[in-house]
Chain A
């Protein structure tokens, strides 16, 4: 199962299309900002359903209400309670070295992908984790 946290609907639709046509995974959840996804994860903790815990998360940085950094702060506190390895990639259009280095320095973040994502790379990431 994959999870996309991004407020850019055009991007999300394109990724959805890629995942569908390449059949990269069966399940996909999408949130438009950090707050919605944190709410989802916290609700999951109350009632752990294995099928609803994603294997892979693609997180955007610039989002309204709760941005990617704030999400990472919250998520890092709870990520070990799911009894499952959740691989998190930051996917952002930001090419600022500060953003890239800051994200890569976090233990929760597996890697930093600059938009636009390369389709074959995306497929590889799914192959690795799912």
Chain B
């Protein structure tokens, strides 16, 4: 009866290639065919006896324990569960788990015992090691760290790649309360917000700047997802971050280059516009004169007209000189930069226009104490200061002597120069976007030709800087240059 209960089970075992021994009356041995097949033997090649198994098939170091377990089973019916290694016909030892029937909750006849030999799957173990290996390699190669924040345990876990990327040792315990410190200071707020939102169930995917243990900042793409328990509460956040610093730096450089190109392009376009418009106005005058000469009846009339060709040629010349100045800037941008002292250059400029300065009773206050010199093209700095200075004097306020304040300072490692006057000012609403345009003048001075600020801006931009202006009518104008 009991045998019948067991047999279907044995069938399943056999079909799963689980080998077993059946021991009846402590001496009558039966080795199942699966047991033999797993080891590569036929029934003729073995002696189905305990001694044969222990002496010929079992690996040395398991012998004593197995004998002990076996005797206990026979004498006391005490069950066991042991790892052993058995000699395969190929000459290799194979790993098995051997278990008695209680491990399968079988009830068997009093006088018989079963021992099952379950092949340990080396490949499972290998597979795990393999996939771990691949995971680790992938993480390493793609520079991707994984992490988990457990809200219940109030703990934060990082994988080894996270620690490596952030420059911490493998035994480092990440801080949960101070987790913002793994991000660049300007991203603390964003990081805090992302994690707070995520703890309320909103996943995130963003580009953010992190900071290593040695305070090196680098860009990552970070993804975080809330983890829920059965009752749908967020119990943690799981995520990865991927080091994209190299790409991001390239992207930033590219963006910067693209900005330069687009500003150069717009200068080129305005240059083309100027060329065609300004040259055209002269040629159209010439054409008109020729027509008039042809239609005029008296010689004196003709001579008078020929005379005015002189004026046209003179103004054509001036225009070409202006255009030449602009072209020279573009080609001179590669000129050698050197250490230029603000004070010395300003003094040179002051000397060159000392007459105008004296005549207009100009006061110039300078403060170059924060940044005394700059690595720049000397001729450009001279031209910039000269143009701003003559500009400020030209457009001084009617009721007061010009006072000019010039200072330099640093913001984010960049040198700035501020140039402030108390002149008549410019109506920013009307002319704000035209101040730096070529031939744009906003005053009635006869010497206003609209070249100075155009050149200044071109000088600055050709060396990747920028200039901005603030002005108030009757109060004054402030130019801010970022070198």
- Asked whether A97 is an interface residue with its Cβ less than 8 Å from the other chain, the reply is no
User: Are B277 and A10 in contact, CB atoms less than 8 angstroms apart?
Assistant: no
- Which of A8, A10, A11, A14 lies at the interface centre, i.e. has the most chain B CB atoms within 10 A of its CB? A10
Q: Do residues B285 and A17 form an inter-chain contact, with CB atoms below 8 A? A: no
Mark contacts of A17-32 with chain B using CB atoms, 8 A cut-off: 1 yes-contact digit, 0 otherwise. Answer: 1100100000000000
Of A46-54, A80-88, A114-122, the one contacting chain B is A114-122
Q: Is A95 an interface residue (CB 8 A)?
A: yes
User: Which of B230-238, B308-316, B380-388, B389-397 contacts the other chain?
Assistant: B308-316
| A70 to B431 CA separation, bound complex (whole angstroms) | 11
> CB-CB < 8 A to B441: which residues of A?
64-65
Give the contacting residue for A64; candidates B273, B291, B440; CB below 8 A: B440
User: Is A105 positioned at the interface, with any CB of B under 8 Å from its CB?
Assistant: no
Q: Chain A, 56-77, contact with B by CB distance < 8 Å: what is the 0/1 string? A: 0000001011000010000000
**Contact between chains at A64 and B450 (CB < 8 Å):** yes
The prevalent SS among residues of A at the interface is loop
Q: Which B residues touch A94, using CB under 8 A?
A: 277, 280
Taking CB atoms, residues of chain B closer than 8 Å to A115 are 280-281, 284-285, 288
A13 at interface, CB cutoff 8 A: yes
Tally chain A residues at the interface, Cβ within 8 Å: 22
On chain A, the residues within 8 Å of B273 by CB distance are 96
Interface size range on B against A: 20 to 34
Q: How far is the CA of A114 from the CA of B305 in the complex (A)?
A: 21
CA distance A117 to B289 in the complex (A): 11
Complex: chain B residue closest to A66, CB-CB: B430
Q: Do A14 and B450 have beta carbons less than 8 Å apart? A: no
Chain A residues whose C-beta falls within 8 Å of the C-beta of B442 in the assembled complex = 64-65
Residues of B within 8 A of A17 (CB): 292, 305
In the complex, the answer to whether B288 meets A117 with C-beta atoms within 8 Å is yes
Q: Is A93 an interface residue (CB 8 A)?
A: yes
A41 to B296, CA, bound (A): 35
Q: With an 8 A cutoff between CB atoms, is B271 at the interface?
A: no
State whether A116 touches B285 (Cβ < 8 A). Answer: yes
Q: Which of B284, B296, B443, B444 contacts A93 (CB 8 A)?
A: B284
Tell me whether B53 is interfacial, beta carbon within 8 Å.
no
Q: Is the CB of B280 within 8 A of A14?
A: no
Q: How far is the CA of A36 from the CA of B443 in the complex (A)?
A: 12
Is the CB–CB distance between B292 and A64 below 8 Å? Answer: no
Establish whether residues A11 and B285, one from each chain, have CB atoms under 8 Å apart when the complex forms.
Answer: yes
Beta-carbon nearest neighbor of B280 in chain A: A93
- Tell me, yes or no, whether B439 is within 8 Å of chain A by CB: yes
Judge whether A119 and B285 touch: CB under 8 Å. Answer: no
A82-118 Cβ-contact flags toward B at 8 Å (1 or 0) = 0000000000011110000000000000000011111
B208: Cβ under 8 A from any A Cβ: no
Are B281's CB and A14's CB within 8 A?
Answer: no
Q: In the complex the two chains form, what is the Cα distance from A62 to B282 in whole Å? A: 13
In the bound complex, CA of A117 to CA of B444 (Å)? 28
CB distance from B473 to the nearest CB of A (A): 14
In the complex, 19 of the A-B residue pairs with CB atoms within 8 angstroms, ordered by the A residue number, are A8-B281, A10-B308, A10-B312, A14-B289, A17-B292, A18-B292, A62-B281, A64-B448, A64-B450, A65-B444, A93-B280, A93-B281, A115-B280, A115-B288, A116-B285, A116-B288, A116-B291, A117-B288, A118-B291
Top 3 nearest A-B pairs (CB, nearest first) are A116-B288, A115-B284, A64-B441
Known: A11-B288, A14-B308, A116-B284. 8 other contacts (CB 8 A): A8-B285, A10-B312, A11-B284, A17-B292, A21-B301, A65-B443, A115-B288, A117-B288
